[in-house]
Structure 1
Amino acid sequence: MRTTKISGVLFDLDGTLLDTANDLGAALNYVLRKYNLAEVAREDYRPIASDGALGLLTLGFAQALKNYDYEVLRAEFLAYYQENIAVHTCLYPGVAQLLLTLNERNIPWGVVTNKPEGLTRLLLPYYSEFEKCLSLVGGDTFTNRKPHPEPILKACEEISVPSEQCLYVGDALRDIEAGNSAQATTVIAKWGYIIAGEDCKNWQADYHAESPLDILSLL
């Protein structure tokens, strides 16, 4: 476990700061309805929500996915999602207070997500809490995406904090792998899209946080 003084914080987005599952699930079910297939219940799509279009379409279409043009399905999914990107999405309880406290303490912070940068930039302005976000790195911003460390290292440069002095908070194994590879201090967001029964102890994170406000005790 690292003991370096923390000077900045980077976050994953879906399942960490924003609960986007219901809007992503609505996009999936829109496509399924279009092809007269059974819709997916919230409890089934929620753990897959941060896996993007591929993960959700694979969940919904299952073995039948090979019978369709995936790129067409993906385009239909993303078009619906883009038009309905903030209908049901909300900040997790405690996130607003967490970000406000970081701002009050002049601790720089940013977002590193595998969500496409264009969609992320479309989504964040709906929530005023992101006005002080100093770095926004999407899944297609650079050559590599998480679990590669490049997005986190680039974001650390943008917030002017060495990666060794940065927290990276996320709810997926790829988040922790990317943070560890970048030499950041890693935190599992236990409130996020983690499959029931998943043993997060094997992820080798530095800390496990039960709620967003737990992050403050690490600063």
Structure 2
Amino acid sequence: MSLPSATQAVLFDLDGTLLDTANDLGAALNHLLLQNNLPLVERSAYRPVASDGAKGLLELGFKDKLSAFNFQELRQQFLSYYENNIATHTSIYSGVIELIEYLKQHNITWGIVTNKPEDLTLKLLPNFPEFNDCQVIIGGDTLAKRKPDPEPLLHACKEMNVDPKHTLYVGDAPRDIEAGNAANMTTVIAQWGYINNLSDCNNWLSDFSCKSPLEIKALIK
């Protein structure tokens, strides 16, 4: 099976797809745990939860003690620390730059649709000038709905003036594939992202599943 020859655009999730942000998110979690004299969380534990944002990470770290805190205040403390240290340990996944260059060379538009809050997304991305030519950026609160609803993906296509049927969506979480399928896009699982058990991907109903960004380049070829 190969991608449609008339691929017009590629949309990407952000955390766990283009950027490995897990260590900065984990640092924000551990900062709060340390402040509250609670055990720190190892990378092996927080990495698979990194795509779930503040809520998922706080639930992981605070466990049954979370109910003893004001969740909104705790979430704001998490986001504040993360915002102030947003690109300390974050890096671009190997192969992503080459893939983006390939898209540019073949006049294929690309953009980002993430559930990360828009303000954090816009603060993070300038740290990576390799993404300066991104055509559209949709955050988790840019619209009234977010993934797994297809609306953000459809809105991105409208902004780029491309047909969803000729658009590829790449992500590392079930909600990414669900949203892409609902938008009638070609969906690709980013196996290099925050996936705890790759065998679970068999149930996501994606069109493709790739071990590295460079495999996507080969599919579009």
What fraction of aligned residue pairs are identical, expressed as a percent? Answer: 57
Deviation by residue 1:80-119 (Cα, 9 ceiling, x = unmatched): 0000000000000001111111112211000000000000
| Residues in 1 aligned to 2:65 and 2:55: alpha-carbon distance in whole angstroms | 14
Q: Which amino acid letter does the alignment assign opposite residue 113 of structure 1?
A: T
TM-score (ref. length: structure 2): 0.97
Deviation by residue 1:52-73 (Cα, 9 ceiling, x = unmatched): 0000000000011001000111
Aligned to 1:101: 102
Q: Which amino acid letter does the alignment assign opposite residue 179 of structure 1?
A: G
Q: What number of residue pairs does the alignment pair up?
A: 219
Aligned to 1:36: 37
Q: Structure 2: which 5+ residue stretches go unaligned?
A: none
Q: Which amino acid letter does the alignment assign opposite residue 47 of structure 1?
A: P
**Deviation above 2 Å: which 4+ runs of structure 1?**
1-5
Q: Is the 8 A contact 2:2 2:219 kept in 1?
A: no
Q: Is the 8 A contact 2:15 2:21 kept in 1?
A: yes
Query: CA 1:117–1:92 in 2, change beyond 3 Å: closer, same or farther?
Result: same
Query: CA 1:172–1:90 in 2, change beyond 3 Å: closer, same or farther?
Result: same
TM-score (ref. length: structure 1): 0.97
* Shift of residue 197, structure 1, vs aligned partner: 5.1
Q: Is the 8 A contact 1:165 1:185 kept in 2?
A: yes
Q: Is the 8 A contact 1:29 1:40 kept in 2?
A: yes
Query: CA 1:96–1:79 in 2, change beyond 3 Å: closer, same or farther?
Result: same
SS in 1 for 2:97: helix
Aligned to 1:140: 141
Structure 1 residues 97-176: aligned runs within 5 Å: 97-176=98-177
Q: Please tell me the root mean square deviation across aligned C-alpha atoms, in Å.
A: 1.1
| Residues in 2 aligned to 1:105 and 1:127: alpha-carbon distance in whole angstroms | 22
Between 194-203 and 56-65, the greater mean CA deviation after superposition: 194-203
Q: Is the 8 A contact 2:174 2:204 kept in 1?
A: yes
